[in-house]
Structure 1
């Protein structure tokens, strides 16, 4: 507890380029860009595969890749390929980490929509794209948001690797603190990452209340 007081109570940690606000903003930027790129890749693929039933093997590969991905090793590999000075050594591993849960949950959400609902939509004269976006996506929204939430929390926790390649973010407190045996900085950085992950969790909880209709929420809880 004294170390946390030392870290958060030091005015020097709240100002300048190494201050908490700057490092927090850098961390959020890395995470947000990685999550956005992952969504652009995974959500369209998940919707397409779930709706058509074609390419399901890609989902299996993505799910297995998520378990085997050596994030730090991938960071080192990208650094060797493109060098330092860019954000790609961090963004590529984070995107690779975030795509599988988004893709798998989007696919499972769309594929799991009740066939009776789809048949009724087609019977009303809706076409493929209309059935997907008017029927399947709203019903699948809880699972889609779950995939996004899992990916976002993983990205926030893993974005600390940016410090390994000389970039910013909250990982600087952890990596630099370990290197210099500045334990208040190390623990303070870890606490900040944990608090940011909790904030992300809260944001997605609120987002689900806004985007998911009450009927779908009740049906999801009853399963």
Structure 2
């Protein structure tokens, strides 16, 4: 059999499912790390991005800071955090939060800036407060761009979450590192295929959410 066929056979082998080291358990770990990292990054990035998009203030400073964070190699940051925090999930989680932050921030302020200024001005003329403008007008109009930022961050994190296994026995990356150490290339390819399939599934899900979040316009009958 080819290496690809051997990898598929490895994945479908029932012996590799179930238990603490099983594929199903590793997938669940991988998803939990991914969602936790994106959620933690979103707690800071989304409110900050919405504020920047609404007020137009502080964009250059914050965007420059986010760009600097983006430029830091995730593996290098993970190594530094691992040395500081030790073995465990804390260091990989913080490194993935830093990875997700720029995309979430950019999606948030770009979404608000993309809102139709005519609609915003009309809402302001009707007497809406700034909070009402943000939550009832700008966020709904820019929701697809905001979700697009979440989508980009999620895909970056789910692919890079394999590095969590570098200093922690967590996620699908364990198959890659274990296979590399033992020169088990079938296991390595199987792990890579599982990560790719998981990323594709999340991308399709987020794409559907992004389409659903796009504002719809209704034609007024003549």
- Shared fold (TM-score greater than 0.5)? yes
Give the C-alpha shift of residue 140 in structure 1: 0.7
Are residue 181 (structure 1) and residue 183 (structure 2) matched? Answer: yes
How far 1:16 sits from its partner (Å)? 1.7
Aligned residues: 215
- Decide which of 41, 46, 51 is 1:43's aligned counterpart: 46
1:22 corresponds to which of 21, 25, 28: 25
Select 1:7's aligned residue among 7, 10, 14: 10
Equivalent residue for 1:198? Answer: 200
User: TM-score, normalized by length of structure 2?
Assistant: 0.92
CA RMSD of aligned residues (A): 1.6
Per-residue deviation at 1:68?
1.1
Aligned to 2:118: 116
Runs of 4 or more, structure 1, over 6 Å off, are none
Q: CA contact under 8 A between 1:3 and 1:184: conserved in structure 2? A: yes
The one of 64, 67, 80 equivalent to 1:64 is: 67
For structure 1, which segment, 58-67 or 201-210, has the greater mean C-alpha deviation from structure 2 after superposition? 58-67
How far the C-alpha of 1:63 sits from its partner, in A, is: 4.7
The answer to whether the Cα contact below 8 Å between 2:144 and 2:211 also exists between their aligned partners in 1 is: no
| Distance of 1:57 and 1:123 partners within structure 2 | 29
Does the 8 A contact of 2:66 with 2:101 survive in 1? no
Query: 1:221 maps to what in 2?
Result: none
| Distance apart, 1:62 and its partner CA | 4.2
Residues 152-211 of structure 1, C-alpha deviation per residue, up to 9 Å, x if partnerless?
Answer: 000000000111103210000111111111111100100010011111111112212433
**CA–CA distance in 2 between the matches of 1:126 and 1:48?**
17
> 1: distance between equivalents of 2:196 and 2:33?
16
